[in-house]
Amino acid sequence: MSFLRRQKSLPDTKNTKNMNLEKSLELYTKGKKHLVGAVNSPVRAFKSVGGIPIFIDRAKESKIYDVDGNEYIDLVLSYGPMILGHRNKKVEKTIKKYLKKGYTFGASTKGEIILAKMVCEAFPGMDKVRFVNSGTEAVLSAIRLARAFTGNNKIIKFSGCYHGHSDALLVAAGSGLATLSLPGSKGVPDDAVKNTLIAEYNNIDSVKQHISKHNNIAAVIIEPIAGNMGVVKPTNDFIQELQKITKENGILLIMDEVMTGFRSKFGGAQELLGIEADITCLGKVIGGGFPVGAYGARNEIMEMVSPLGEMYQAGTLSGNPIAMACGIATLKELRNQNPYKKFEKRAKRLEKILLDAAKENGVDLQVNRFGSMINPFFTKEKVVDFKTAQTSDTENFKIFFWKMIEHGVFLPPSQFEAWFLSTELSKKDLSKIEEAVNIAMRKVASVR
């Protein structure tokens, strides 16, 4: 009997191949003693799909390997940063070189200047950037900066968009909260969110209503392509009107490109959408796998930041030399490869694989994609916002998820997380994914 069949919390796994996860179970059991849920990020707990988390041992190129030796094609890619696949030779060579010089100094290094120039040149309208340690830190700093620059306090965010776990933004946040069916978080006081206004993605009237009622709005923050309720694209009318009304009302537009940065082009989604943010937040790819975040804007805004201005933000490990080196090497290689046409071709094929398998098996499915981000929704409704994303059949996703895992494809353990493609994803990998999708979709159909 396979390990999966012996786990009462997992979905029915009849007619599956044997799969050994004994060492993952052992580590999960040990981990519970000193780690919260044996994990350090909630989605890793696999709670929404049942069962125990899979513990990873190593990775190489397009593959990831768990502690039991199972091999998977990786479509998680650490939720985005491993755009070149795992252990890219040029990036790894750079990291080894800089490791010999030291790990952290609490002082400035040349690498910060080099990476800053690369990032600013990739984003029109960005004159200066400040590096931090995570996307969450980038966003909370951007919000503080917007308030400092405008003198106003309220912000507008969109239901289903996730901008990290800072108090003011941990409301209607999609992703992990949607995965765990939580409306918000304990420990966030009412006062922390009293200045946060919630609008509906792709509904410009919901934004206009807030603007008509409040004259002290500092900023509107949005994922230009939502990735934390699943991949959801804005309509052209919505995103263009959003920029127009923010400018007309003296409100700063903050684009959270932590997920989308460098994934659809060398730069961000803004240029493809024909818009330009006042403040842009970045992360993931610009660290190449090391913890990095950043926020940047035109000079008049960024000069509000200490030491030039009165908006204080600091971090001992910000601009860490190893992270900067990894980011520089990643962006250089990405610019040299220019893989974006290849990403479009691969994503288009994956979309067809998913839709064809669903149609053949009579399973309701929508597929949304943008650049090298894609994900299926188990629903018959077109997914345009958080409300329609939540019509997805999460039970179907659970079954699909475990069948994909059993057949060697590593997916995010949540219906509401984007899948990511890397430059190392090969035609052979896609053929294996197609085989797994067909098996998984048949299983979904058989238990409905």
**Measured distance CA(35)–CA(55) in Å, rounded:** 14
Average pLDDT, whole number, for the chain? 91
Domain boundaries, the chain: 4-86+340-446, 102-337
- Inform me whether the pLDDT recorded for 3 exceeds 80: no
Pick from 23, 12, 70: nearest CA to 403? 12
Q: List residues with catalytic annotation.
A: 162, 256, 284
Contact 147, 218 (CB under 8 A): yes
Look-up of token digits 């995570």? 134
The residues that bridge with 280 in the sheet, in sequence order, are 255, 296
Is the pTM higher than 0.85?
A: yes
Question: What's the pLDDT score for residue 329?
Answer: 98
pLDDT in tens, 187-237: 676 777 788 899 999 999 999 999 999 999 999 999 999 998 999 999 999
Three-point CA angle 256, 59, 347, nearest 5°: 50
Question: What's the pLDDT score for residue 7?
Answer: 42
pLDDT in tens, 268-288: 999 999 999 999 999 999 999
Contact 233, 266 (CB under 8 A): no
Fold of the domain built from segment(s) 4-86+340-446: Aspartate Aminotransferase, domain 1 (3.90.1150)
Q: What percent of the chain is predicted at pLDDT more than 70?
A: 91
Fold of the domain built from segment(s) 102-337: Aspartate Aminotransferase; domain 2 (3.40.640)
**Measured distance CA(63)–CA(279) in Å, rounded:** 35
Q: Which residue has the higher pLDDT, 117 or 43?
A: 117
- Inform me whether the pLDDT recorded for 174 exceeds 60: no
Rounded to 10°, the helix 394-406/427-446 angle is 130
- Inform me whether the pLDDT recorded for 444 exceeds 80: yes
Strands 196-199 and 154-158: parallel
Question: What's the pLDDT score for residue 392?
Answer: 97
As given in the structure block, the two tokens for residue 170 are: 């941990």
pLDDT in tens, 428-441: 999 999 999 999 99
**Measured distance CA(256)–CA(169) in Å, rounded:** 12
Question: What's the pLDDT score for residue 179?
Answer: 37
Question: What's the pLDDT score for residue 12?
Answer: 39
